[in-house]
Amino acid sequence: MATQEVHHVALTLTDHLPILEVLVPFVAAPLVVVLGSRRLAWPIAFAASAISFVIACLLLLQVLDGSYISYHIGGWAPPLGIEYRVDAANAFVLFLVSGISTLILPYARASFEAEIPRRSTTLLYALYLLCLTGLLGVVITGDAFNVFVFLEISSLSTYVLIAQGLHRDKRALTAAYNYLIMGTIGATFFVIGIGFLYMATGTLNMADLADRIAVQSDSRTIRAAFAFIVVGVGLKVAIYPLHLWLPNAYTFAPSAITAFLAGTATKVAIYVLLRFMFSVFQPEFIAQVPTLEVIILPFALLAMFGASLTAIFQRDLKRMLAYSSIAQIGYMLLGIAFFSQAGLMATMIQLFNHGITKAALFMGVGAFVLRAGGSFYHHLYGLGKSMPWTSAAMVIAGISLIGVPGTAGFISKWLLVQAALDAGWWPIAILIVASSLLAVIYVWRMIEALYLTETSAELPARQAPLSMVVPLWIMALACIYFGFDSDLTLSASRTAAEGLLAGSMGME
Amino acid sequence: MDSGTLDFIVGHLNYWLFILLMMTGLYIVVAKGNLVKKIVGLNIFQTSVFMLYISIGKVTGGTAPIFPLDMKVDPDVVYSNPLPHVLILTAIVVGIATTSLGLALIIRIREEYHTIEEDQIAEVENAVLKSEQWASEQAAGEHS
């Protein structure tokens, strides 16, 4: 056979970090099911998630200088074998996803207990781990078809996790069903796109794809692939007109699941979009500029205003935050549409900052649901007094959502405005500020309900359990911390943007 | 019609069928209000993609990509490309998982809503929404 004989080289544990990142939660999931013990499920899930987080930190430290790690699965060299490729862009997203997951799990314990019947919780932790596996796998892999497989692993477990909200509201079922239909259409579009790419190039390795698309003259097959991939991933991202699944899914899912998904799932999809638009299809790709200017830019602006306006008129805090997520995704898309290094850097940092901000906000909502019985504004009346710690953390996360100086949200908005001015698009810069004002209105509605309205309930709500308040506060303090000390996030997103715009991932 | 055009149409028969099936499936998903029919549409849509991949793998004149027992490969023999077939095996598994999950959800929806028609479900949900609105207006009224 033509394959070269490869001598077995003993690898140390550090060399195996990229695969362990995904393998640990992946193995832990069936372990939880097989053991079937309600007592052990949570510790296993937490340990697996924490190990993933530690590995993600180690990986991020290794690639911050702009280098990359290439891991060959089973020792088969790419492009024939499957490759995991870690560079600054995906190590940063891995850090975010595993970090949020590790913080959500301690929080989820009390929240699940209140919202989910006890017999389902063990399986729920297994699904949570599978969802985490899928998200991490999508991010770390360097193989285009592998992205599809991991995307479906995370999506299928997400549908079930959302449906678990039915114990609180039966509309969780229809929300999960609608997400299943839309998500499957999106994933199938994506796989059609991959099929076209394979047809035109005969490879599935992303770096190899990038090289072959670059040398090949532009063909209709490749353009069709580009269109299918952008639309398919766009459904997962919830780009404005494709966002219909998101509000209901976020509103009716169990609180801890919403916090997890809001912080990670759409962010991972944005990463896939970036990876395909800029790494697989080179920045010079012919359809790139028109797509950005005619499709991404107007829809990003529509999301920023349309979804923000809808958010203002909501009566349910959880649904309001879901619409605000769609608006915030608009900012990330705007950064992509600038098509500059500054713009991509703003996208990467907004991805991170919005992830932690939204996770904190939804965690607070979960605490309110637990103690006040719901997340409608009228449930929140007077909670500023009876649940001071949760409410204060919500205010901190809220001002980070607006982008007030001194919070993480400010850094990303600032970079976005700068990128707009660099590109000479000053009307866009004004629009960014204007849509932030809309965020002021909807966050103010929450603060008004919490602090400025007297409660009508005879019994004031009790404090949320410590296991929920502590993770919430860690997340809220992270919103402040990354607003002052932005060295890590700035350098990671700068290296990531440079890597993405450099185009070719070059096989050497 | 000259023979070139005819060759193009007949030679790409698989791909025409792929487009036809794909559009049929998508149409059913969008147009039908019955939840089970939507899943059927989704299945047809996914199946069309299987067909696309399998067509990609076919090499004209190629035979099944199996090594002879003595491992002596005749360089003149053309083999079809097995990779797309393997890929689509994965996609088939994903499709089955999606279908079964979708059907399981429909069973639960029927238990809760007593219907699997989209418009009737929407009616029930609108009624819930109205009562929620009423409750929040009442509560807001007490404070104004």
**CB-CB under 8 Å, A195 with B56:** yes
> Domain for residue B84, yes or no?
yes
- Taking the CA of residue B112 as centre, how many other CA atoms within 13 Å lie in the half-sphere pointing to its CB? 19
> Domain for residue B11, yes or no?
yes
**CB-CB under 8 Å, A181 with B102:** yes
- Please report the pLDDT score of residue A503 as a whole number: 63
Mean per-residue pLDDT over chain A, rounded: 90
- Please report the pLDDT score of residue B64 as a whole number: 83
Give the contacts of B15 (CB within 8 A, at least 6 positions apart): B52, B55
**How far is the CA of B45 from the CAs of A154, A191, B56, B69, in angstroms?**
21, 12, 17, 39
Mean pLDDT of A142-170: 94
Please, which pLDDT band fits residue B107 given cuts at 50, 70 and 90?
very high
> Domain for residue B123, yes or no?
no
B87, B109, B133: residue with CB nearest A174: B109
CA closest to A152 among chain B residues: B94
* The pLDDT of residue A4 is above 60: no
Among A231-235, A452-456, A468-472, B55-59, the minimum mean pLDDT is found in A452-456
CB A352, CB A489: distance < 8 Å: yes
> Domain for residue B139, yes or no?
no
**CB-CB under 8 Å, B91 with A184:** no
CA separation for the pair A382, A399 (Å, rounded) = 20
Please, which pLDDT band fits residue B70 given cuts at 50, 70 and 90?
confident
**How far is the CA of A79 from the CAs of A244, A277, A280, A282, in angstroms?**
38, 20, 14, 18
Measured between beta carbons, the chain A residues lying within 8 angstroms of B35 are 177
CA separation for the pair A40, A37 (Å, rounded) = 5
Share of chain A above pLDDT 70, in %: 96
**CATH of residue B21:** 1.10.287
A187, A191, A315: residue with CB nearest B133: A315
DSSP secondary structure, A455-486, as one string: ---SSPPPPPPHHHHHHHHHHHHHHHHHHH--
Mean pLDDT of A340-345: 91
Question: With left for phi above 0 and alpha for psi between -120 and 50, is residue A143 left, alpha or beta?
Answer: beta
> Domain for residue B144, yes or no?
no
**CB-CB under 8 Å, B109 with A173:** yes
Say whether residue A188 is in contact with chain B using an 8 A CB cutoff: yes
- Please report the pLDDT score of residue A216 as a whole number: 82
**CB-CB under 8 Å, B108 with A166:** yes
- Please report the pLDDT score of residue A1 as a whole number: 38
> Mutation test of the interface with chain A: which of B14, B35, B55, B101, choosing the one with the most A Cβ atoms within 10 A?
B101
* The pLDDT of residue B69 is above 90: no
**CB-CB under 8 Å, A156 with B139:** no
HEC secondary structure over A232-286: HHHHHHCCHHHCCHHHHHHHHCCHHHHHHHHHHHHHHHHHHHHHHHHHHCCCCCC
- Please report the pLDDT score of residue A214 as a whole number: 85
Mean pLDDT of A293-309: 92
Give the contacts of A503 (CB within 8 A, at least 6 positions apart): A210, A214, A278, A279, A282, A283, A284
Residue at A303: amino acid letter: A
- Please report the pLDDT score of residue A153 as a whole number: 95
User: How many CB atoms sit inside 10 A of residue B70's CB?
Assistant: 6
- Please report the pLDDT score of residue A2 as a whole number: 42
Mean pLDDT of A122-135: 95
* The pLDDT of residue B74 is above 80: no
* The pLDDT of residue A8 is above 60: no
- Please report the pLDDT score of residue A36 as a whole number: 86
- Max mean pLDDT range (A57-61, A215-219, A484-488, B71-75): A57-61
A148, A149, A177: residue with CB nearest B35: A177
CB A90, CB A21: distance < 8 Å: no
DSSP secondary structure, A411-445, as one string: HHHHHHHHHHHHTT-HHHHHHHHHHHHHHHHHHHH
User: How many CB atoms sit inside 10 A of residue A319's CB?
Assistant: 19
Say whether residue A244 is in contact with chain B using an 8 A CB cutoff: no
Radius of gyration of chain A (CA): 22
Say whether residue A163 is in contact with chain B using an 8 A CB cutoff: yes
Among residues A370, A366, A283, A298, the alpha carbon closest in space to that of A103 is found at: A366
Provide the token pair at B95. 């499709």
* The pLDDT of residue A273 is above 70: yes
CA closest to A150 among chain B residues: B94
- Please report the pLDDT score of residue A506 as a whole number: 44
- Please report the pLDDT score of residue B71 as a whole number: 76
Cross-strand pairs, A485: none
Mean pLDDT of A186-190: 96
- Please report the pLDDT score of residue B75 as a whole number: 79
> Domain for residue B138, yes or no?
no
Q: What is the pTM of this model?
A: 0.93
* The pLDDT of residue B52 is above 50: yes
Mean pLDDT of A480-491: 90
Share of chain A above pLDDT 90, in %: 69
* The pLDDT of residue A156 is above 70: yes
Interface of A with B in 256-315 (CB under 8 A): 315
> Domain for residue B137, yes or no?
no
Domain range enclosing B46:
3-113
To 5 degrees, how large is the angle CA A158–CA A160–CA A162?
70
* The pLDDT of residue B143 is above 80: no
Measured between beta carbons, the chain A residues lying within 8 angstroms of B125 are 171, 174
- Please report the pLDDT score of residue A458 as a whole number: 66
Domain count, chain B: 1
> Domain for residue B132, yes or no?
no
Q: Domain extents for chain A?
A: 287-501
* The pLDDT of residue A190 is above 90: yes
Interface of B with A (CB under 8 A): 22, 26, 29, 35, 38, 42, 45-46, 49, 52-53, 56, 83-84, 87, 90-91, 94, 97-98, 101-102, 105-106, 108-109, 112-113, 121, 125, 128, 132-133, 135-136, 139-140, 142-143
* The pLDDT of residue B129 is above 50: yes
